[in-house]
Chains A and B, each alone.
Chain A
Amino acid sequence: MSGDFSQASAIAMAEAVRKREASATQLVEQSLARIAATDPRVNAFTDVLAERARAHAADIDARLAREPAAAARLPLVGVPFAVKNLFDIGGLATRAGSKIEHGSPPKAHDAVLVERLEAAGAVLVGALNMDEYAYGFTTENSHDGPTHNPHDLSRTAGGSSGGSGAALAAGQVPLTLGSDTNGSIRVPASLCGVFGLKPTYGRLPRTGSYPFVHSLDVLGPLARNVRDLSLAYDLMQGHDAPDPACAARPVEPTTNQLARGAMGLRMAVLSGYFEDNAGPEARAAVARVAEALNVRRRVELPEVVRARAAAFVIGNAEGAALHLADLRRRAADFEPLSRDRFLAGTLLPAQWVLQAQKVRRWFAERAAEVLAGVDILLAPATPRPATPLGSEQMDINGKMIPTRPNMGLLTQPISCIGLPVCCVPVWGVSAEGLPIGVQIIAAPWREDLVLRVAAALESAGVVSAPLAKL
């Protein structure tokens, strides 16, 4: 068996194993070698689980030797993947990017989504860097070091799932998992030039993951192409009772819908707030996607500034309350870039939070009215492409605003009301040659629609996720 699969899609890797052109062991060894060669520069991984991955790959190969037909039942057979380090991994403490959780007991089990991907034949090779407790958009982690954007190592990979975006752009693995509360899948997908799916709030179970804001948290996949993204998402669907937010919905497959493309869908560009807060590259990216889809219509959501404020208040208060005991005891051990935000968040009056939850429902109802007349909304994912690591301020249309809290300015109003979004990477709109993402947004539970449009754009060559030249 031979061949270099480091640039291959997850689906192509699994196909190679099924055809016996590669073994699971070979795929895992190639992934581990690529991580060893590139991660000293990228810093996507906090834990490389070589021993576990080799043992699991050997088990798969032994099983296929005994029972070759088993491969047909494993859609991701032999495919290496990695997860943000807030997913539980059996035998490890779940750190969520923190120093404090280093001391917590090792987990007995993997997170449910890790179990589901491994049940489909995928092989976990490691855990990925993130902003501490997911409270950030730049993966500048003072404990584990920053993750560097593989397309320009001096720049941020975005966050908080920065390792999940960077590992894909660096070609270390073809599939990763992240979490998104205010934009933490979509921001790194945008800045690293990969595809990210933020499913509807309540779609995928969060069982066995470290929470940030229970009211807003979702988990989802990132990949280098839409078919991998869709397949991984399909394999992870299904109710799980221990997550009280997980909706008891049937599995609604998307992979078999992709070929339908954008045909027949009513689409519009989100104007107003989403244009006013977009830099020139972000606006150009949306214009390119809109042109490719022949979208001329523009619609506006009302009171987006207040919706974003509601997400901010809810996230600040809930996220901080979770850590009150440690903030009392050992505030100095928190990430310096988010500690003061957490401390402040414990002190917010209850009325602010309760009113924010009412504003959230009001905004969800207004968005539903808009979505009654349009199936797909288009908006930029980030105001700018990747900024330099350490950047304090960024220029949005002549206005300087703090970089770290505002990279999620365009994602936050959408996750506030739990809509599904596929973030697709657009190239050729930045003078520095950097990618930037566009959000494809639909009504709740219509992941099929956002993935169909993403697949149409990918087929047309408008969006893509090439490997970084490292």
Chain B
Amino acid sequence: MMTPEEIEACVDANARALGLVIAPEHRPGVLRYFALAASMAELVNGLPLGDHDEPAPVFTPVSPMTEVE
């Protein structure tokens, strides 16, 4: 479980990396929702999965509109 300090550090570092300036009046809400997402991520990471478990999305290659005969 991330501590409040770790959440603040992660929010600040990631926001900086994205060039996203978080206004002071938005900051408490952002920290609260990041903490909620972190608790959801903890649940997600708590399910034991193996190296061969596939993610849900499957890429479909896109064919050109016209193909060589």
Chain B 21-50 interface residues, beta-carbon cutoff 8 Å to A: 21-23, 26, 29-34, 36-37, 39-41, 43-47, 49
Is residue B20 within 8 Å, beta carbon to beta carbon, of the partner chain? Answer: yes
Determine whether the beta carbon of A340 is less than 8 Å from that of B33.
yes
The answer to whether A339 and B26 touch across the interface, beta carbons within 8 angstroms, is: yes
**Cβ 8 A contact of B11, one of A215, A306, A347, A405:** A347
B5 interface residue, CB < 8 Å from A?
no
- Which residues of B are found within 8 Å of A303, using beta-carbon distances? 47
* Complex partner residue of B56 from A316, A345, A360, CB under 8 angstroms: A360
Q: Are B37 and A345 in contact (CB under 8 A)?
A: yes
What count of chain A residues pass the 8 Å CB interface test? Answer: 38
Partner of B30, one of A244, A309, A313, A343: A343
Q: Do A343 and B20 form a contact, CB below 8 Å, given A354-B55, A359-B49?
A: yes
CA distance A215 to B39 in the complex (A): 21
**B60 interface hit (Cβ, 8 Å):** yes
Task: Tell me whether A327 is interfacial, beta carbon within 8 Å.
Answer: yes
**Cα distance A354–B54 when bound, in Å?**
10
Q: Residue B64 at the A interface, CB < 8 A?
A: no
> How far is A340 from B32 in the complex, measured between Cα atoms in Å?
9
Answer whether A305 and B43 are a contact pair too, CB < 8 Å, given A344-B30, A346-B20, A358-B49: yes
Is there a chain B Cβ closer than 8 Å to A16's Cβ? no
Q: Known contacts A215-B57, A313-B41, A345-B33: does B47 contact A362 (CB below 8 Å)?
A: yes
Which residues of chain A are near B55, meaning CB under 8 Å?
A: 354, 357-358, 360-361
**What is the CA–CA distance of A340 and B15 in the complex, to the nearest angstrom?**
13
Known: A324-B20, A344-B11, A348-B41. A361 touches B29 (CB 8 A): no
Q: Number of contacting residues on B, CB 8 A?
A: 35
Q: Across the interface, name the chain A residue whose C-beta is closest to B15.
A: A347
A11 at the interface (CB under 8 A from B): no
Is B1 interfacial (CB-CB < 8 Å)? no
Set of chain A residues within 8 Å of B14, measured between Cβ atoms: 346-347, 349
Query: Which residues of chain A are near B60, meaning CB under 8 Å?
Result: 244
What residue in chain A is nearest B12 (Cβ atoms)? A347
- Nearest to B34 among chain A residues (CB) is A344
Interfacial chain B residues near A356, Cβ < 8 Å: 41, 44
> Which one of B10, B31, B34, B54 lies within 8 Å of A361 (CB-CB)?
B54
Chosen A-B contacts, 28 in total, with CB atoms closer than 8 Å, are A303-B47, A305-B43, A306-B43, A309-B41, A309-B43, A310-B40, A312-B40, A316-B37, A331-B22, A331-B26, A343-B20, A344-B11, A344-B29, A344-B31, A345-B33, A345-B37, A346-B18, A347-B30, A347-B34, A352-B37, A352-B41, A355-B44, A356-B44, A357-B57, A358-B49, A358-B53, A358-B55, A361-B55
9 tightest Cβ-Cβ pairs between the two chains A and B? A340-B29, A344-B33, A357-B55, A309-B43, A352-B41, A309-B40, A347-B14, A360-B56, A344-B34
